[in-house]
């Protein structure tokens, strides 16, 4: 029967219940991103940009005759960003209900705080200009009114938003995502080095193939992930501040004598961003598309890692034993399911779906502006959140693994036919040197091995009957699937190198 119609409305319960998994079940793993990519973080970043723009204009005397701000007053304005809290969020919500415009709400919020600061309203002691605070002096009021005109001066909302998002994404990637990703790659690299000499039966197309080592195969994945991390680390976070259509039109008319391009550049670089000199109303978001494509590629390689390790677990090459106090199956007591890797797969796929649509959508804007990017960018936190959750799961999954060399050795010993490759390769080399009796090596080994299993005895008999030079014969007779790993252990040493 269906759910009862008259049931408790969960949406009305307090505290509120999360709609999405990231803010519900998986909140603990992704919580650090809230400080960078939540709606509250966006408003804090906007406030930061508005404060710094006001201070930049004042410090460089961009508008001749405008009042100045003391060091103490500048510190107090910057403290608004540092102390941005639940009360600030609540106040902004009230203002935005009136403005129905989020950036304008920030402007009004800052203007109110500036007025309080310069007139002493709501605070004891001296005002920032040295007059007695709290008395609403005419001078303080006059300064507040004049300086209030420099808040959001000559700006379009996108001047504030693009720099805010650049700062937010920069912080999220550099302070949260990258450290987690580096830690995972370091963990994987340590496993690769530890297992560098452990022989493994390779599988190509799902079939037994040339032996390798477990360490070398993990090192391949670690090396691939490292290359993507280097690309992500080199991301250029760009910003612009040039007005409604990128022409500095309002700026030039308001203060014709100012070097507005230099002012814009110095401001954007002061924020810790790269300056984009040529834009429409919006910063073009190309750097974002590049970043999200690189993160998505990292995710796809990580997905490859998850599926490969899952396969190795299913083959018995890894045992899930460490820290496994959890229930594997609700009905089969013997099972320990590789859920960390399966969870990672799912979250990487969700992350990539969002990263792909972000990268493809953000690079396009109709003529000089549309608002598609405004809604789209609000999903950045979700995209990186699912990637972060996958990193957490893969890391915990790897921590719970123990290699089982005996299982790998048993598989190698069941597949002596993989030595057909070195035998025919030696025969080819000898034939090239003019040694007789080495003709058709590939075909002869194919006849011996294709479609059937052979053991050590059969291979040795075959090698003894080839008429090889004594040294070559003894070397091949001594070869086993477990020792036929080439330079695999040495190759692992390339980890960490460019």
Residue 351 sits in the same domain as residue 202:
yes
Residue 488 resides in a domain? no
Residue 401 sits in the same domain as residue 428:
no
Kindly report, residue by residue over 174-209, the tens digit of the pLDDT: 999 999 999 999 999 999 999 999 999 999 999 999
Residue 126 sits in the same domain as residue 226:
no
pLDDT at 365 over 50: yes
Residue 224 resides in a domain? yes
- Whether the CB-CB separation of 477 and 456 falls below 8 Å is answered with no
Residue 274 sits in the same domain as residue 332:
yes
Residue 126 sits in the same domain as residue 222:
no
The last residue of one of the domains, among 99, 123, 148, is: 148
Q: What is the tally of structural domains in the chain? A: 3
Whole domain around residue 92: which residue ranges?
29-148
Residue 234 resides in a domain? yes
pTM: 0.91
Residue 203 sits in the same domain as residue 310:
yes
Categorize the per-residue pLDDT at 371 as very low, low, confident or very high, splitting at 50, 70 and 90.
Answer: confident
pLDDT at 149 over 50: yes
The one catalytic residue in 70, 329, 360, 399 is: 329
Residue 453 resides in a domain? yes
Kindly report, residue by residue over 86-131, the tens digit of the pLDDT: 999 999 999 999 999 999 999 999 999 999 999 987 543 344 444 4
The last residue of one of the domains, among 406, 436, 459, is: 406
- Residue 172 CA to residue 380 CA, distance in Å, equals 10
CATH of the domain at 52: 1.10.275.10
- Residue 495 CA to residue 475 CA, distance in Å, equals 31
- Residue 384 CA to residue 387 CA, distance in Å, equals 5
Residue 245 resides in a domain? yes
88 given a catalytic annotation: no
Residue 141 sits in the same domain as residue 282:
no
Across 9-23, 77-91, 190-204, least confident range: 9-23
Residue 308 sits in the same domain as residue 423:
no
Query: What per-residue confidence (pLDDT) applies to 292?
Result: 98
Residue 109 sits in the same domain as residue 35:
yes
Residue 7 resides in a domain? no
Residue 198 sits in the same domain as residue 332:
yes
Residue 182 resides in a domain? yes
- Whether the CB-CB separation of 391 and 314 falls below 8 Å is answered with no
329 given a catalytic annotation: yes
Across 31-40, 182-191, 453-462, 483-492, least confident range: 453-462
The one catalytic residue in 205, 334, 375, 439 is: 205
Residue 9 resides in a domain? no
The tokens for 333 are: 């007591």
Burial of 490 (0-12, 13-18, 19+ CB in 10 A): exposed
CATH of the domain at 423: 1.10.40.30
- Whether the CB-CB separation of 376 and 357 falls below 8 Å is answered with yes
CATH of the domain at 311: 1.20.200.10
Kindly report, residue by residue over 375-403, the tens digit of the pLDDT: 999 999 999 999 999 999 999 999 999 99
Residue 179 sits in the same domain as residue 234:
yes
Residue 62 sits in the same domain as residue 190:
no
The last residue of one of the domains, among 148, 177, 207, is: 148
């Amino acid at each position: 029967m269906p759910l009862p119609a008259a049931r408790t409305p969960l949406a009305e319960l307090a505290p509120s219940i999360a709609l999405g998994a990231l803010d519900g079940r998986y909140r603990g793993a992704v919580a650090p991103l809230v400080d960078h990519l939540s709606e509250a973080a966006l408003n804090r970043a906007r406030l930061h940009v508005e404060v710094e723009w006001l201070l930049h204009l004042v410090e460089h005397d961009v508008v001749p005759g405008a009042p100045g701000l003391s060091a103490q007053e500048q510190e107090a304005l910057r403290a608004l960003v540092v102390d941005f809290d639940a009360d600030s969020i609540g106040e902004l919500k009230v203002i935005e209900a009136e403005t129905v415009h989020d950036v304008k709400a920030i402007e009004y919020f800052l203007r109110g705080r500036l007025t309080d600061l310069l007139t002493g309203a709501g605070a004891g002691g001296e005002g920032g200009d040295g007059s007695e605070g709290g008395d609403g002096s005419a001078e303080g009021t006059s300064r507040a009114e004049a300086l209030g005109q420099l808040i959001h001066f000559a700006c379009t909302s996108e001047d504030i938003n693009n720099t805010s998002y650049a700062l937010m994404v920069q912080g999220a990637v550099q302070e949260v995502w990258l450290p987690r990703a580096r830690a995972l790659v370091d963990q994987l690299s340590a496993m690769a080095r530890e297992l560098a000499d452990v022989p493994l039966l390779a599988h190509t197309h799902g079939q037994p193939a040339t032996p390798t080592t477990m360490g070398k195969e993990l090192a391949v994945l670690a090396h691939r992930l490292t290359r993507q991390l280097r690309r992500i680390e080199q991301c250029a976070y760009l910003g612009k501040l040039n007005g409604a259509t990128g022409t500095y039109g309002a700026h030039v008319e308001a203060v014709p004598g100012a070097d507005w391009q230099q002012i814009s550049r110095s401001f954007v670089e002061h924020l810790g961003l790269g300056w984009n000199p040529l834009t429409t109303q919006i910063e073009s978001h190309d750097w974002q598309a590049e970043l999200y494509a690189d993160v998505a590629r990292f995710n796809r390689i990580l997905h490859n890692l998850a599926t490969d390790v899952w396969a190795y677990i299913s083959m018995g090459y890894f045992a899930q034993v460490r820290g496994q106090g959890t229930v594997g199956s609700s009905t089969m007591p013997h099972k320990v399911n590789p859920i960390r890797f399966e969870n990672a797969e799912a979250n990487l796929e969700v992350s990539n779906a969002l990263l792909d649509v972000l990268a493809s959508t953000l690079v396009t804007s109709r003529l000089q502006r549309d608002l598609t990017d405004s809604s789209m960018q609000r999903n950045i936190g979700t995209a990186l959140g699912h990637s972060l959750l996958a990193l957490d799961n893969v890391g915990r999954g790897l921590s719970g693994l123990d290699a089982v060399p005996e299982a790998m050795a048993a598989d190698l010993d069941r597949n002596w036919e993989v030595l057909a490759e070195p035998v025919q390769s030696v025969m080819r080399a000898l034939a090239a040197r003019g040694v007789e009796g080495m003709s058709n090596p590939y075909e002869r080994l194919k006849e011996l091995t294709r479609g059937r299993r052979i053991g050590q005895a059969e291979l040795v008999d075959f090698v003894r009957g080839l008429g090889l030079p004594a040294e070559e014969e003894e070397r091949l007779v001594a070869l086993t699937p477990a020792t036929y790993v080439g330079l695999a252990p040495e190759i692992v040493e390339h980890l960490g190198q460019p």
